[in-house]
Chain A
Amino acid sequence: MGPGAGFAFLGSFFALVGALGLTLLALLAWPLRALLRLGRPGRRPGSDRGIRRAVILGFDGMEPSLFEKFAKKGVLPNLSRLACSGTYRPLETTVPPLSPVAWSTFQTGVNPGKHGIFDFLRRNPRTYRGELSSARVRPATRELRFCSFRLPLGKPFLIGLRRSQPFWKLLGERGVPSLVLRVPITFPPEPFRGLCLSGMGVPDLLGSQGTCTRYTTYSEDAAAPDSQRTVRVRWTGETARTRILGPPNPFRSDGRPLECPLVLHRTDGGVRLRLKGVDCVLRQGEYSPWIRARFRAGLLTVYGIVRFYLTRLDPFLDLYMTPVQIDPLHPALPVSHPGIFSVYLAGKQGAFSTLGLAEDTSALNEGILDDRAFVSQCELIQGEREETFWDAFEHLREGVLVCVFDMIDRLQHMFWRNLDPNHPAHPTGCNQPADDVLEEAYRRADRLVGEILERVDDHTLLWVISDHGFRSFRRSVNLNSWLHREGYLAGDLVGARGDWFEGADWQKSRAYSLGLCGIYVNQKGREKCGIVEPGQETRRLKAEIITGLLNLKDPATGLSPVAEVLDTSELYRGPYTEDAPDLIVAYREGYRTSWESALGRVTSEVFQDNVRSWSGDHLLRAGEIPGVFFSNKTLDCDRIGLEDLAPTLLSAFGFSPPSYMDGKPLWHGPAQGSTGSEPVGQEGMKALKAPQQRGRKMPRKISIEGDLLRRVRKARLAAGYASDEEFVRHALEKEIERIESSDDEDAVKTRLQGLGYIS
């Protein structure tokens, strides 16, 4: 039948032979592997509670009062059934009640002082700039340069900054596999026994947390905010040629972005999009399917995926493009463990959103998308997530499946104004009833729970949880503006265009705020230009700031916006407490830190109305903003906190939780099985594996034995580290940071001499 048929049959033939080979191999090797697993130390003896599977659904931001309101209305029958037949409690959240912090505590069972995540951002004490708190990407350190070209020698570093150990890793060491889907702060994915698809923290292809693009023929537009790029397009007849901007060219020193040509043809009521290998017609008010964009840099091709939404065609073109996301079929950065897991999912269900903060709230905030388009986007992403969940559920025969859904959180952030008639952005005369969007989101969650309830048996533990609740966000508070006004933050800061305290005089500044609720003391010996002495002076300053904030009044309402200010030295316990902000601010309902303050900007006003679409938030006192906890098993306990969930899961599978965990199992009575989180034996830890970092193999082994090992173990147990490796790594990092705190090489040498490292 000719060569063409040969393609079909040859391709199929190899695939079938390959499949047959792998199947036979897997089946023949299975008995041996099963025997090896039986003999492995730490193997679970069997759960005395008869639990073989655990399914945990995380609905980020599910608010108890809304659940109760909708349940009373009768529109959440499955969650109501679960609440009645099993357990329903508020779930105590973390301080601060932010998703990165809360989900990190959920995973590890420890307070933030032991996992090191305190906010979305962390500050760099040497530069006073904000960085993402969950991961750090460093470019390859060595490169060859020639004119404007460069050749990186090596791959970029990708380091996860969440410390301690997630429960799935502990379970995996004991033979219980886990499927972890889109749990926040799992990027980069860590190796463990199971599968993981990273969630919040995964960047887009540009390295940001989501930079959308707007293609428009509209000529007069204000300067585009940082979160989106505007590309001007001009029609030549019915055609416009433009491009998709990709990541910076790795082979150029000037950081010029890679480009993928894009051609737009005007059609009847729509636009035809043409890229290499793609031809798609888009109607107004519609999203395109995921489109693969190829960015070529020499022999290297980087793949990204985008979706388009045609907002408007006439009188001018307004075409929205999602952030260019990492293609799960050809991931430029690892978004899953193992790497082939995302390829498998993409092959099975098609392309899906990999971006950590997939729902483009900035686009709605800045008016690029309207409400309807944003809701559609959330629904599309939810659909993908459900498909991924069901695929994992079909494969879960034993172990843990945890999947986090973000739709409720995003919709509540953007549409709480619909619920709050006092909100400055409350829509007047809008078509939809006030809480329709949110009710539909809760209904969808309820339907999912219903389908799962039909498929779980008595040996399956089902939890439905959320990390925090929600309240209205009506007025924003610029903490940096207040600090500046009160004289704690000095410099020519008001109206500065840049972020991160542009114009600050650090020699005269005593405190600053960065992130959504943290205040840092400009401490000597810690910050690069610190002036506040540690100890008594810092304590005095903190007390002064606390008093000042609690006495602060909003002139517009007469209310105090700040409900509580917590000193983290008294709040957290753990080796990373010193990385935390010195003070955490908890607001009264209706208030939150302003966007400008979070990025280190000072405005002329401390208070402002929040007129954006982002109208719901959760920076209140932790006790006032709990999440939800549902379980299909009854639990005899009144109080449940996020930190209790990891130990409870370990206990469910027959293991005692390790002593460093702050949470406690929720059911009483002893569990069988060995204690401990130590992955090594009691005596003579022979080798300390260097941390596994993406992009570079760290093959060195360092031997720690005998008395030193004993002291390491004692110290790390007292400090609350999850493992000896974590303790040693942190100790080394701190020491190296101390040495490197100067930029000057001579100063570094002097310091090394002073410390006795060199003579």
Chain B
Amino acid sequence: MTRTRSKPGSRAWAIFRENPLETLYKLRHITGAVLSPLLDFLSGFGPVWFASFLALFSSFGILIVYRACSSAGNFQKAKNRVKAHLLELRLFQEDPALVARAALGVVRANLRYLRMHAKPLAVFILPVSLILLEGEARLDRRCFLPGEAIIVQSFWPQHGLTGLGEQIEIVVAPGLVVESPPLRIPGQKEIDWRLRAKLAGVHRVAVRSPLGQGFVDVSVSDELGAPPGSAGRSDHTEATAGAPLLRVEHPKSFLALGSFRVPWLWVLVSETFLFVLAFKGRFGVEL
């Protein structure tokens, strides 16, 4: 019997293809763990500065990849061609046939230009995804403030308990108070509760049923910081067959820029654009 060895790359690709999002999250956990001292240090400057540092790293990464994987001269030529066809529209505007030809020229030149981006994009899609996930982990959500309402969602498996009369119990840590009776949504096999945060801290919420129990952690804090641990959405279940899947959506976080509250992704993307524009000359890159 012969054993065939598959290449490591193809194995990795197979794993990634099976569940890409989960693979990315796992990768982010690994890189986050490796880089956590640095990331923790940087996030100590505040969320706006942290977003700026992430933008700077992103932009340097993009520029390095473009420098390695593309030719600035070819990019410039491609852009000039697009510009030339646009000018052609103006120069020969009196002839509809020439106008149509010029418009087609713009489309073709654009496609050529976009094709030139394929290689560098393929290379940096993974690093930038990890950067975005890190940003999401640290900037996307915040802890609940004391006094804020918390919605706990529970999702029950097909064969589990979904309807009225089930013996379901929610148990909360002392820092939380259950405010509402369970809200059953049979069509979605969902049962929700409303809690109220009272004390700062990481509090566990448990939902018990005769078939099993599920847990979820809720972060409450006096400061508008990110919830500790992994992504803001706690989704943690000690699995037993029939046990529910619990979810608590921590509130979305916004970065305070003066009197404006701006989503972190806008800040990250726009700052990355600006840094790339500012430094592309230094790196000898054209985009």
- Residues on A facing B (Cβ under 8 Å): 1-9, 11-12, 15-16, 18-20, 22-23, 26-27, 29-30, 33, 177, 195, 276-277, 279, 329, 338, 340-341, 343-348, 350, 395, 397
- Given the known A-B contacts A277-B72, A395-B92, A397-B95, are A346 and B80 also in contact in the complex, defined by CB atoms under 8 Å? yes
In whole angstroms, what is the CA distance A330 to B72 when docked?
18
Known: A15-B110, A346-B80, A395-B92. 6 other contacts (CB 8 A): A2-B121, A3-B276, A23-B100, A279-B284, A343-B87, A348-B88
- Given the known A-B contacts A19-B107, A22-B86, A347-B83, are A6 and B125 also in contact in the complex, defined by CB atoms under 8 Å? no
Set A3, A9, A22: member contacting B90, Cβ < 8 A = A22
Which of chain B's residues have a CB closer than 8 A to the CB of A277?
72, 281, 284
Which of chain B's residues have a CB closer than 8 A to the CB of A344?
84, 87-88, 91
In whole angstroms, what is the CA distance A518 to B114 when docked?
60
User: In the bound complex, do residue A15 and residue B82 qualify as a contact, i.e. CB atoms below 8 Å apart?
Assistant: yes
Nearest Cβ distance between residue A533 and chain B, in whole angstroms?
A: 56
Which of chain B's residues have a CB closer than 8 A to the CB of A20?
103
User: In the bound complex, do residue A30 and residue B94 qualify as a contact, i.e. CB atoms below 8 Å apart?
Assistant: yes
> Interface majority SS on B: helix, strand, loop or mixed?
helix
List, sorted by A's number, 22 A–B pairs whose CB atoms are closer than 8 Å: A2-B121, A2-B132, A3-B128, A4-B272, A4-B276, A6-B269, A8-B113, A8-B121, A9-B114, A12-B113, A12-B114, A15-B82, A15-B110, A19-B85, A22-B89, A27-B96, A30-B94, A329-B80, A343-B87, A344-B91, A347-B87, A350-B77
Q: Which residue from chain B places its CB closest to the CB of A351 in the assembled complex?
A: B80
Nearest Cβ distance between residue B216 and chain A, in whole angstroms?
A: 31
- Given the known A-B contacts A8-B287, A16-B110, A19-B103, are A397 and B91 also in contact in the complex, defined by CB atoms under 8 Å? no
User: In the bound complex, do residue A343 and residue B132 qualify as a contact, i.e. CB atoms below 8 Å apart?
Assistant: no
Nearest Cβ distance between residue B117 and chain A, in whole angstroms?
A: 4
**B23 interface residue, CB < 8 Å from A?**
no
Q: Which residue from chain B places its CB closest to the CB of A349 in the assembled complex?
A: B84
In whole angstroms, what is the CA distance A195 to B91 when docked?
8
Docked complex: B96-111 residues within 8 A CB-CB of A: 96-100, 102-103, 106-107, 110
Q: Which residue from chain A places its CB closest to the CB of B270 in the assembled complex?
A: A3
Total chain B interface residues with beta-carbon distance under 8 A: 53
Which of chain B's residues have a CB closer than 8 A to the CB of A345?
84
Bitwise interface map of B from 230 to 271 toward A, beta carbon under 8 Å scored 1, else 0 = 000000000000000000000000000000000000001100
**B62 interface residue, CB < 8 Å from A?**
yes
Q: Which residue from chain A places its CB closest to the CB of B103 in the assembled complex?
A: A23
- Nearest 5 CB-CB pairings of A with B: A347-B84, A2-B128, A19-B106, A3-B272, A347-B80
User: In the bound complex, do residue B91 and residue A341 qualify as a contact, i.e. CB atoms below 8 Å apart?
Assistant: yes
**B120 interface residue, CB < 8 Å from A?**
yes
**B193 interface residue, CB < 8 Å from A?**
no
Set B91, B92, B93, B120: member contacting A4, Cβ < 8 A = B120
In whole angstroms, what is the CA distance A20 to B77 when docked?
22
User: In the bound complex, do residue B124 and residue A30 qualify as a contact, i.e. CB atoms below 8 Å apart?
Assistant: no
**B36 interface residue, CB < 8 Å from A?**
no
In whole angstroms, what is the CA distance A19 to B97 when docked?
15
In whole angstroms, what is the CA distance A350 to B85 when docked?
13
- Given the known A-B contacts A12-B114, A19-B85, A19-B106, are A3 and B91 also in contact in the complex, defined by CB atoms under 8 Å? no
In whole angstroms, what is the CA distance A15 to B120 when docked?
21
User: In the bound complex, do residue A4 and residue B86 qualify as a contact, i.e. CB atoms below 8 Å apart?
Assistant: no
User: In the bound complex, do residue B81 and residue A1 qualify as a contact, i.e. CB atoms below 8 Å apart?
Assistant: no
Q: Which residue from chain B places its CB closest to the CB of A280 in the assembled complex?
A: B73
In whole angstroms, what is the CA distance A15 to B269 when docked?
21
User: In the bound complex, do residue A397 and residue B85 qualify as a contact, i.e. CB atoms below 8 Å apart?
Assistant: no
**B49 interface residue, CB < 8 Å from A?**
no
- Given the known A-B contacts A22-B90, A340-B87, A347-B84, are A1 and B121 also in contact in the complex, defined by CB atoms under 8 Å? yes
Which of chain A's residues have a CB closer than 8 A to the CB of B87?
340, 343-344, 347
In whole angstroms, what is the CA distance A626 to B159 when docked?
103
User: In the bound complex, do residue B103 and residue A2 qualify as a contact, i.e. CB atoms below 8 Å apart?
Assistant: no
Nearest Cβ distance between residue A659 and chain B, in whole angstroms?
A: 30
In whole angstroms, what is the CA distance A544 to B85 when docked?
63
Q: Which residue from chain B places its CB closest to the CB of A340 in the assembled complex?
A: B87
**B273 interface residue, CB < 8 Å from A?**
yes
Nearest Cβ distance between residue A24 and chain B, in whole angstroms?
A: 9
Q: Which residue from chain B places its CB closest to the CB of A278 in the assembled complex?
A: B73
In whole angstroms, what is the CA distance A759 to B131 when docked?
83
Which of chain A's residues have a CB closer than 8 A to the CB of B102?
19, 23
- Given the known A-B contacts A30-B94, A344-B84, A344-B91, are A3 and B107 also in contact in the complex, defined by CB atoms under 8 Å? no
User: In the bound complex, do residue B117 and residue A8 qualify as a contact, i.e. CB atoms below 8 Å apart?
Assistant: yes
Q: Which residue from chain A places its CB closest to the CB of B132 in the assembled complex?
A: A2
Which of chain B's residues have a CB closer than 8 A to the CB of A395?
92, 98
User: In the bound complex, do residue A26 and residue B80 qualify as a contact, i.e. CB atoms below 8 Å apart?
Assistant: no
User: In the bound complex, do residue B99 and residue A27 qualify as a contact, i.e. CB atoms below 8 Å apart?
Assistant: yes
**B31 interface residue, CB < 8 Å from A?**
no
In whole angstroms, what is the CA distance A18 to B82 when docked?
11
Q: Which residue from chain B places its CB closest to the CB of A9 in the assembled complex?
A: B114
Nearest Cβ distance between residue B135 and chain A, in whole angstroms?
A: 11
Which of chain B's residues have a CB closer than 8 A to the CB of A15?
82, 86, 106, 110
Nearest Cβ distance between residue B167 and chain A, in whole angstroms?
A: 48
**B153 interface residue, CB < 8 Å from A?**
no
User: In the bound complex, do residue A23 and residue B99 qualify as a contact, i.e. CB atoms below 8 Å apart?
Assistant: yes
Nearest Cβ distance between residue B153 and chain A, in whole angstroms?
A: 31
Q: Which residue from chain A places its CB closest to the CB of B275 in the assembled complex?
A: A3
User: In the bound complex, do residue A2 and residue B98 qualify as a contact, i.e. CB atoms below 8 Å apart?
Assistant: no
**B180 interface residue, CB < 8 Å from A?**
no
User: In the bound complex, do residue B86 and residue A18 qualify as a contact, i.e. CB atoms below 8 Å apart?
Assistant: yes
**B58 interface residue, CB < 8 Å from A?**
yes
Which of chain A's residues have a CB closer than 8 A to the CB of B86?
15, 18-19, 22
**B50 interface residue, CB < 8 Å from A?**
no
User: In the bound complex, do residue B106 and residue A2 qualify as a contact, i.e. CB atoms below 8 Å apart?
Assistant: no
User: In the bound complex, do residue B114 and residue A33 qualify as a contact, i.e. CB atoms below 8 Å apart?
Assistant: no
Which of chain B's residues have a CB closer than 8 A to the CB of A343?
83-84, 87
Which of chain B's residues have a CB closer than 8 A to the CB of A177?
94
- Given the known A-B contacts A23-B99, A347-B80, A397-B95, are A5 and B121 also in contact in the complex, defined by CB atoms under 8 Å? yes
Nearest Cβ distance between residue A72 and chain B, in whole angstroms?
A: 42
In whole angstroms, what is the CA distance A239 to B84 when docked?
38
User: In the bound complex, do residue B66 and residue A4 qualify as a contact, i.e. CB atoms below 8 Å apart?
Assistant: yes
Nearest Cβ distance between residue A3 and chain B, in whole angstroms?
A: 4
Which of chain B's residues have a CB closer than 8 A to the CB of A397?
95, 97-98
User: In the bound complex, do residue B81 and residue A348 qualify as a contact, i.e. CB atoms below 8 Å apart?
Assistant: yes
Q: Which residue from chain B places its CB closest to the CB of A3 in the assembled complex?
A: B272
- Given the known A-B contacts A2-B125, A3-B58, A8-B114, are A347 and B91 also in contact in the complex, defined by CB atoms under 8 Å? no
